[in-house]
Amino acid sequence: MTSVHAHPDQPAVISAAGLTKTYTFHDQGAGLAGAVRSLVRRRYQTRLAVDSIGFTIGRGEVVGLLGPNGAGKTTTLKMLSGLLYPTSGQLEVLGHSPSRRRPDYLRRIALVMGQKTMLWWDVPAMESLLLHKEMYDLSTAEFERNVDELAELLEVRDLLNVQVRKVSLGERMKLELMAALVHGPEILFLDEPTIGLDVVAKARVRAFLAEVTRRHGTTILVTSHDMDDIEALCSRVMVIDHGRLQYDGSLSGLVHAARPRKLVRATYARAVDASPLADLDGVAVGGGGSDQTVSLEVERERTGDVLEQLTRLGPLVDLDVADADVEEIMRDLFLRRGTVGVAGSAETEEVR
Ligand SMILES: Nc1ncnc2c1ncn2[C@@H]1O[C@H](COP(=O)(O)OP(=O)(O)OP(=O)(O)O)[C@@H](O)[C@H]1O
């Protein structure tokens, strides 16, 4: 499969080269025997979680970080936001080295992890927001302006004075986003922002994020296992597997490369003979059709010709032309791990 390497037009706000993270951890054997043995002789293991990845992200880009469980996505976000030191490689975000965690860097970014909360559980969200005001040294005017805007966009004004433990999961996620954005960060790192939310809440979160980036040019790097999030928000995706950057480009480029064929399904008012279509170049007749339905996989550039042929077979009742389902494509890619084309670019060269 080919891959597209995106070159953002905007000035780079994130640049990484040869970015690598190896975890070293203490391997304690199972049970009491393992615990006792580990007191006498410690065994250490290493795991290469992120393996020499390189990319640049321009201001205002919304980039999806995709990959199966354990691929290295969270580790990458943690390095970018300064929670983890890289083991090696170069990393610059907004002109800073994130792991130094300088206040003037932290003021310009935010990290939201769908599985973790940054709100105090036992008090209303407003208390946490006020803490953020102090932490980030926001003026009262700036704080009030940001709270007003975010509360309106997220429709959470009534929730700000309710104890956080009493709000629903979807409402809490909105409040988390509010807390993350109240200091007006330029870059937002999001790790599974819609995890566990129902379809309506997910759609609200996506619409909110799209509006934030439209209004403020916020750069977003988001991980999600929900391909609807990625389709709705991201102009570009990076696929990571086994810690390696496997693809960097548009989502449609990935879809086209993975499934160059369109799915066509025609339904007729009476039984038709579809056998002549099987002889056409770039057409595969799918199974599961009846005498009255014809299912085909058609190379994109042949779609027009084939539709014309289908109209000639008999009286059409319904005609459906679709790209393969993105969710399904990702499932296939991850099942066939390592088959996505590696982005060939100087930025992905190893520097270790
Ligand atoms: N603190 C740690 N110590 C040791 N290994 C770790 C640690 N954190 C993560 N790992 C390992 O590093 C690899 C990458 O983990 P990471 O959490 O970055 O993956 P991910 O792509 O975010 O996965 P998921 O989709 O499941 O969240 C995994 O093999 C994981 O087990």
Question: Residue 344: its pLDDT value, please?
Answer: 33
Question: Residue 336: its pLDDT value, please?
Answer: 63
For residue 186, CA distances in Å to 44, 118, 138, 240 come to 39, 19, 15, 24
Question: Residue 273: its pLDDT value, please?
Answer: 86
Question: Residue 44: its pLDDT value, please?
Answer: 79
Question: Ligand 1: does its nearest atom lie under 6 Å from the Cβ of 25?
Answer: yes
Question: Residue 34: its pLDDT value, please?
Answer: 72
Give 149 Cα–ligand 1 centroid separation in angstroms: 35
Q: How confident is the model at residue 5 (pLDDT cuts 50, 70, 90)?
A: very low
Neighbours of 68 (CB within 10 A): 17
User: Whole-angstrom Cα distance, residue 104 to residue 47?
Assistant: 32
User: Whole-angstrom Cα distance, residue 235 to residue 218?
Assistant: 14
Question: Residue 287: its pLDDT value, please?
Answer: 65
Give 71 Cα–ligand 1 centroid separation in angstroms: 7
Q: Which of 4-8, 58-62, 270-274 has the lowest mean pLDDT?
A: 4-8
Q: Is the pLDDT of residue 145 over 90?
A: yes
Question: Ligand 1: does its nearest atom lie under 6 Å from the Cβ of 70?
Answer: yes
186 and 94 in contact (C-beta within 8 Å)?
A: yes
User: Whole-angstrom Cα distance, residue 111 to residue 114?
Assistant: 10
20, 22, 23, best to mutate for ligand 1 pocket (most atoms within 8 Å of CB): 23
Q: How confident is the model at residue 288 (pLDDT cuts 50, 70, 90)?
A: low
Question: Ligand 1: does its nearest atom lie under 6 Å from the Cβ of 71?
Answer: yes
Domains of the chain: 59-255 (3.40.50.300), 259-335 (3.30.70)
- Could you read off the pLDDT of 190-238 as tens digits, one per residue? 999 888 888 988 998 999 999 999 999 999 999 988 888 998 999 899 9
Question: Ligand 1: does its nearest atom lie under 6 Å from the Cβ of 29?
Answer: no
Beta pairing partners, 163: 124
Sheet holding 316-322, edge to edge: 283-285, 293-299, 261-268, 316-322
User: Does the pTM exceed 0.90?
Assistant: no
What phi, psi does 216 have (nearest 5°)?
-115, 0
Question: Residue 351: its pLDDT value, please?
Answer: 23
Question: According to the per-residue pLDDT averaged within each range, which of 24-28, 145-149, 257-261, 276-280 is highest?
Answer: 145-149
- Could you read off the pLDDT of 328-349 as tens digits, one per residue? 777 777 766 544 443 333 233 2
Residue with tokens 């339905």, as numbered in its chain: 293
Longest dimension (CA), the chain: 80
User: Whole-angstrom Cα distance, residue 204 to residue 202?
Assistant: 5
Question: Ligand 1: does its nearest atom lie under 6 Å from the Cβ of 139?
Answer: no
Residue with tokens 């929670």, as numbered in its chain: 83
- Could you read off the pLDDT of 241-256 as tens digits, one per residue? 999 999 999 988 888 7
Q: Is the pLDDT of residue 184 over 90?
A: yes
Name the H helices within 155-287: 169-181, 199-216, 227-233, 251-258
* Percentage of the chain modeled with pLDDT above 70: 90
Q: How confident is the model at residue 134 (pLDDT cuts 50, 70, 90)?
A: very high
Give 48 Cα–ligand 1 centroid separation in angstroms: 9
Q: Is the pLDDT of residue 9 over 70?
A: no
Q: Is the pLDDT of residue 100 over 90?
A: yes
User: Whole-angstrom Cα distance, residue 227 to residue 192?
Assistant: 11
